[in-house]
Structures are given as structure tokens and as C-alpha cells.
Amino acid sequence: MKRSVITGSGCYIPTVVRTNNSFAVHKFYAEDKSPIETPSLEVAEKLRQITGIAERRYISEDLNCSDIATIAAQNAIEDSGIDPETIDQLIVAHNFGNVVNKTIQTDAVPSLASRVKNNLKIRNPKCVAYDVLFGCPGWVQGMIQADAFFKAGIAKRALIIGSETLSRVLDEYDRDSMIFSDGAGATVLEYKEVEENGSGFLGSCAVTHSFDEAYFINMGHSYYPECDPSVRYIKMKGRKVYEYAMKHVPEAMKECLEVSGVDIKDVKKIFIHQANEKMDEGIIKGLYKLYGIKDISPAEIMPMCIHWLGNSSVATVPTLYDLVVKGKEENHALEPGDIIMFASVGAGMNINAICYRV
């Protein structure tokens, strides 16, 4: 039988580190543009207690989103050992394209996928390059799309990249902006003959709620009273996103397990979008509660890199996966035959999940 198998992975971790202490002299404002009188270090500490974020990574001024996507892609290609000219689908998940430094202007023409293909010097015109805009779940959705193309007989090898530079679209006066960061992760996916219990995709699930939820994460004006009204930044209704995720993500993950024919007790690790540590812990507990299991320690099944990398949107899941398979995430490792899950939630609002056997 044939399955979609990950044959290589790579990531790019930006070099500019911003700790919570770096916000000590920062001035934050509320949504109504009133100043927040709480000392900024206290604001940052409260954020750490809720999200787990102690520091985050930003790209240097000379790099852009397509640049770091290329680096992650090169690492994944090298890890897989494939010839780049044999790639059939080159998929780049992102949300803001290339944002020119200090301009907050999005540049998405040509597509980031076309730019990455150009950077990789791939000549093959049959290597179809395109972007995926699906909020934070974009990389997972790219994997699902590649798997569908494989099953349709259209392709047999794909490069899926998640890359984001949220530092370029942040409102520095909005305390929620401390959550976001930059990064890139990539995987090579191939359609291969495997044994019945061999590696590969076991099933997937994706949903979109956009009736009341479409604008939980959107673009809006700065909270600074004297802001330029023509410039917009990423904005998030944090409480609504939290409540939405807690209600719907466990349900989608359960559906993924069911369509994959996987028992929850057989899942070794869950690679969930690194959005908020407390929220992610709640989602894991919510999933197991759907199966009547209350005695579960999320830390044992859920690797986390948000503490030092922050929330890099589409890059969080592939970056975390690469860190674990390369033995760079303490207390977490994978063995052949392990069943894992990729899951994400984000703007749209979108949720997706994949069950995969290592």
C-alpha cells in the first residue's frame, strides 16, 4: 500500500532574541487607546504565566519571510537527500507574505512559493509552486493538500514550508504583540510503498468556522492614541480565540483519530500549534476528557518550544517536529512505529489535524 511519508525536515530559528525583560521600558495601551498603568514588566510576567513565553525570536533586518522559508527548505531537502528537481509540489504556508522592513507593506507578488523555488534554483516547470493562506494551521493544511494530490495521482513528492515574520506586522503598543515571533519550518513529503503498519499518513481532519468567528484574528489600527490611521497591524480577540479553541479543537482532533482508526491510548506525541501554553494544555486535557480520561499529564505527550521561540504561526508545528526528530527537544523523542498527531488552530477560524505513524 502507499502512504504519504515524511522523509526530511528542517527549520530556521531567527537569531534576534527578545526576552520579557526587554519590554521593561515599553508603554502599552488598551484597545480604547487608554494607557495601561500596570508596569510593563508586570504585564510581561502575567503574559509568561498564561502563555509560557519567556522570550521570542525575530529575524534580522536583512532577511525576509521568503528568505527564511528557503533556509528551512534547504535543510529539509538536505535531510531527505532528494534531488530538488524531482519535487512536484512546492507549498509555502504564510499569512503576510514578505513585509518590507519598517514599512509594514505586504509583498506577495510573486508568491512566496515562486520566490523560494527561484532561490532553490529549481528549473523543472513541473514543480508547481503555490502559497497557502489558512491562518496558523497553514503548514498542516499544506500537508493535507499534498496528501490529497498524491492520492489523486497528480504528484508523488512535495516540499511543504511554513514561514512567518510576525515581528513585521506587530503593534508595539499592544500587549498581545508580545506573543508573536518569526520562524520557518519545512518537510519533504513523499508518496511511497509501505507495509500495512509502516510509516505515513493515517488520516486527517480540517474545519472552518466563519459565521461568527471570521474576525477573531484580523488587521486593525494601533492602540497608540496618535497612530497613523492608514496603517494596520495584526489584532487578536484573545478571550474569544481561547474559548473557541477550547471548544472546537478537541472535537476536531477526536474526529481525526476516528477517521484514522487510531485509539487515543496509542498516540505517543501531539505536535500542537505553539500559541499559548495554558490553552494547549487545556486542549490536550479536553481531548482526553472526550474519551473519559482525566488522569493525563500534557507535558508528557505535548512537546513545547513556545517558551523560547514564541508563537511563529505557521512555523510552530514543523519547527517543533524538526527539533524533536533531531533530538533537540529535551524529554521528547520518537521511535519508528510511534503514532503522533499534528494539530493547529488559527485565523479564519480554522482547525486541522493529521494522524501520522513515524
The domain made up of 200-357 is a member of CATH 3.80.10.10 = no
**Which DSSP string do the residues of 61-88 spell out, in sequence order?**
TT--HHHHHHHHHHHHHHHHT--GGG-S
Structure confidence by residue, pLDDT tens digits, 76-129? 999 999 999 999 999 999 999 999 887 777 888 999 999 999 999 999 999 999
Q: Taking phi first (over 0 means left), then psi (-120 to 50 degrees means alpha), and beta for anything else, what does residue 78 get?
A: alpha
Same fold, 2-193 and 200-357: yes
End-to-end CA distance of the chain: 16
Set of cell numbers at residue 54: 519567556
pLDDT at position 26, please?
A: 84
Q: What percent of the chain has pLDDT over 90?
A: 84
Q: What percent of the chain has pLDDT over 70?
A: 100
When mean pLDDT is compared across 25-39, 125-139, 254-268, the lowest value belongs to 25-39
pLDDT at position 102, please?
A: 75
Q: How far is CA 256 from the centre of its chain?
A: 18
Helices (H), the chain: 40-51, 65-80, 112-119, 138-151, 238-260, 277-289, 298-301, 306-309, 316-325
| Residue 262 near residue 332 (C-beta atoms within 8 A) | no
Q: How far is CA 120 from the centre of its chain?
A: 22
Structure confidence by residue, pLDDT tens digits, 206-258? 999 999 999 999 999 999 988 888 888 899 998 999 999 999 999 999 999 99
pLDDT at position 196, please?
A: 86
pLDDT at position 107, please?
A: 87
Set of cell numbers at residue 118: 527561484
**Residue 176 neighbours by CB under 8 Å, 6+ apart:** 235, 236, 238
Structure confidence by residue, pLDDT tens digits, 166-179? 999 999 999 999 99
- Domain spans, the chain: 2-193, 200-357
The domain made up of 2-193 is a member of CATH 3.30.1360.70 = no
When pLDDT is cut at 50, 70 and 90, the band that residue 162 belongs to is: very high
Helices (H), 100-208: 112-119, 138-151
When mean pLDDT is compared across 22-36, 64-78, 167-181, the lowest value belongs to 22-36
Residue 271 confidence (pLDDT) above 90: yes
